[in-house]
Amino acid sequence: AIQLVESGGGSVQAGGPLRLSCVASGSSFHVYHMGWFRQVPGNGREGVASISVRGATTYADSVKGRFTISKDNAKNTLYLEMNSLKPEDTAIYYCAADPFPKGPTSWAVSENYRNWGQGTQVTVSS
């Protein structure tokens, strides 16, 4: 089974950038639909962005224009570049993978993903 490990989280001031990484092992993620989700205490996991096997991307309205999802198949690594960060972006960010394709709305449903990383904390101060 595929294993996922996130890194790159930390504390940053509002308006600043941060890049998260997710390294996959056990299986190549070439055939997986990949996603980034985030969660704050008391809430469910919110879909942030996803990228298909073919490289098509989707974003939540709250991050559109600020975040960019990408992947490097040679390194088996998924990235999330975050810019113009806001305090409301503070959360634990999770990498997710699933072998089945996702559509315009299904990509953002956490229950549709079978594999998850351990999460990395992002804290944005004002």
Q: How confident is the model at residue 28, as a pLDDT?
A: 78
Q: How confident is the model at residue 29, as a pLDDT?
A: 80
Q: Are 113 and 51 in contact (CB under 8 A)?
A: no
The SS3 call for residue 74 is: helix
Distance of CA 15 to the CA centre of its chain: 19
Q: How confident is the model at residue 1, as a pLDDT?
A: 83
- What the block records as the tokens of 38 is 């985030």
Q: Averaged in consecutive runs of 10 residues, what is the pLDDT profile of the chain (126 residues)?
A: 96 98 90 96 96 96 98 95 98 97 94 97 97
Q: How confident is the model at residue 34, as a pLDDT?
A: 97
For 53, 55, 59, 61, 84, the CA distances from 64, given in Å and listed in that order, are 20, 17, 6, 5, 11
